[in-house]
Amino acid sequence: MEDALSSEVIEVTPGVKHMLLILYNVNDTFPPNKNKLRLESLLARVIVPFLGFKGLYYGESEPVVESSEPELIARRRSSDGSRRISRPLSIQPQQVDTLNEMFLKAIRKQQEG
Protein backbone atom coordinates (compact mmCIF):
# COMPACT_ATOMS: atom_id res chain seq x y z
CA MET A 1 0.00 0.00 0.00
CA GLU A 2 2.83 2.38 0.85
CA ASP A 3 4.49 1.71 -2.52
CA ALA A 4 1.25 2.28 -4.40
CA LEU A 5 0.62 5.57 -2.60
CA SER A 6 4.16 6.80 -3.19
CA SER A 7 3.34 7.47 -6.86
CA GLU A 8 1.60 10.77 -7.51
CA VAL A 9 -0.75 9.37 -10.17
CA ILE A 10 -2.76 6.84 -8.14
CA GLU A 11 -6.42 7.57 -7.35
CA VAL A 12 -7.57 5.93 -4.11
CA THR A 13 -11.17 4.75 -4.16
CA PRO A 14 -13.61 5.76 -1.42
CA GLY A 15 -13.83 2.12 -0.32
CA VAL A 16 -10.08 1.89 0.28
CA LYS A 17 -10.14 5.21 2.17
CA HIS A 18 -12.97 3.88 4.30
CA MET A 19 -11.06 0.65 5.00
CA LEU A 20 -7.96 2.60 6.06
CA LEU A 21 -10.02 4.82 8.36
CA ILE A 22 -11.61 1.77 10.00
CA LEU A 23 -8.20 0.18 10.53
CA TYR A 24 -6.87 3.42 11.96
CA ASN A 25 -9.75 3.67 14.43
CA VAL A 26 -9.07 0.25 15.96
CA ASN A 27 -7.61 1.25 19.32
CA ASP A 28 -5.32 -1.51 20.50
CA THR A 29 -2.63 0.51 22.26
CA PHE A 30 -2.06 3.98 23.53
CA PRO A 31 0.11 5.70 22.61
CA PRO A 32 -0.07 4.32 19.07
CA ASN A 33 2.55 1.80 18.03
CA LYS A 34 4.82 2.14 14.95
CA ASN A 35 2.37 0.38 12.63
CA LYS A 36 -0.47 2.69 13.60
CA LEU A 37 1.74 5.71 12.99
CA ARG A 38 2.67 4.30 9.56
CA LEU A 39 -1.03 3.92 8.82
CA GLU A 40 -1.57 7.51 9.97
CA SER A 41 1.02 8.77 7.47
CA LEU A 42 -0.70 6.73 4.71
CA LEU A 43 -4.06 8.23 5.57
CA ALA A 44 -2.55 11.70 5.59
CA ARG A 45 -1.62 11.25 1.92
CA VAL A 46 -5.09 10.17 0.78
CA ILE A 47 -7.38 12.19 3.06
CA VAL A 48 -6.72 15.92 3.02
CA PRO A 49 -6.77 17.44 5.60
CA PHE A 50 -6.25 14.67 8.15
CA LEU A 51 -6.01 15.09 11.92
CA GLY A 52 -4.01 12.32 13.56
CA PHE A 53 -2.05 11.58 16.73
CA LYS A 54 1.04 13.45 15.52
CA GLY A 55 -0.87 16.50 14.28
CA LEU A 56 -2.68 18.05 11.33
CA TYR A 57 -1.59 16.72 7.96
CA TYR A 58 -2.26 18.37 4.64
CA GLY A 59 -1.40 15.82 1.95
CA GLU A 60 2.09 15.07 3.25
CA SER A 61 3.46 12.16 5.29
CA GLU A 62 4.55 14.56 8.07
CA PRO A 63 2.18 16.91 9.93
CA VAL A 64 2.01 20.57 8.95
CA VAL A 65 0.91 21.49 12.48
CA GLU A 66 2.39 19.18 15.09
CA SER A 67 0.39 17.92 18.06
CA SER A 68 1.68 18.29 21.60
CA GLU A 69 0.29 14.83 22.45
CA PRO A 70 3.50 12.82 21.72
CA GLU A 71 5.51 15.20 23.91
CA LEU A 72 2.96 14.98 26.74
CA ILE A 73 3.05 11.18 26.59
CA ALA A 74 6.87 11.19 26.74
CA ARG A 75 6.81 13.51 29.76
CA ARG A 76 4.22 11.34 31.52
CA ARG A 77 6.31 8.24 30.93
CA SER A 78 9.47 9.82 32.27
CA SER A 79 7.73 11.08 35.41
CA ASP A 80 5.85 7.83 36.01
CA GLY A 81 8.36 5.32 37.36
CA SER A 82 5.92 2.43 37.49
CA ARG A 83 4.81 0.50 34.46
CA ARG A 84 1.09 0.01 33.96
CA ILE A 85 -0.29 -3.24 32.62
CA SER A 86 -2.88 -2.55 29.95
CA ARG A 87 -4.24 -6.08 29.73
CA PRO A 88 -4.96 -8.66 32.41
CA LEU A 89 -2.37 -11.34 32.95
CA SER A 90 -3.21 -14.68 31.40
CA ILE A 91 -3.46 -17.78 33.56
CA GLN A 92 -1.93 -21.03 32.37
CA PRO A 93 -3.85 -24.33 32.79
CA GLN A 94 -1.36 -25.50 35.46
CA GLN A 95 -2.02 -22.37 37.47
CA VAL A 96 -5.79 -22.92 37.25
CA ASP A 97 -5.36 -26.47 38.60
CA THR A 98 -3.16 -25.19 41.42
CA LEU A 99 -5.71 -22.50 42.31
CA ASN A 100 -8.53 -25.09 42.29
CA GLU A 101 -6.54 -27.33 44.63
CA MET A 102 -5.86 -24.42 46.97
CA PHE A 103 -9.54 -23.44 47.08
CA LEU A 104 -10.65 -27.05 47.67
CA LYS A 105 -8.11 -27.38 50.49
CA ALA A 106 -9.32 -24.17 52.09
CA ILE A 107 -12.99 -25.29 51.84
CA ARG A 108 -12.19 -28.71 53.39
CA LYS A 109 -10.24 -27.07 56.19
CA GLN A 110 -13.12 -24.66 56.88
CA GLN A 111 -15.67 -27.52 56.89
CA GLU A 112 -13.52 -29.54 59.32
CA GLY A 113 -13.00 -26.60 61.68
Question: What would the pLDDT profile of 56-106 be if each residue is shown by its tens digit?
Answer: 998 888 899 999 888 888 888 777 655 555 555 565 666 666 766 776 777
pTM above the 0.85 mark?
A: no
Of the candidates 72, 71, 73, 67, which has an alpha carbon nearest to the alpha carbon of residue 55? 67
Q: What single string gives the DSSP state of each residue in 72-97?
A: HHHHHHHH--SPPPSSPPP--HHHHH
Question: What would the pLDDT profile of 13-36 be if each residue is shown by its tens digit?
Answer: 899 889 889 989 887 788 889 999
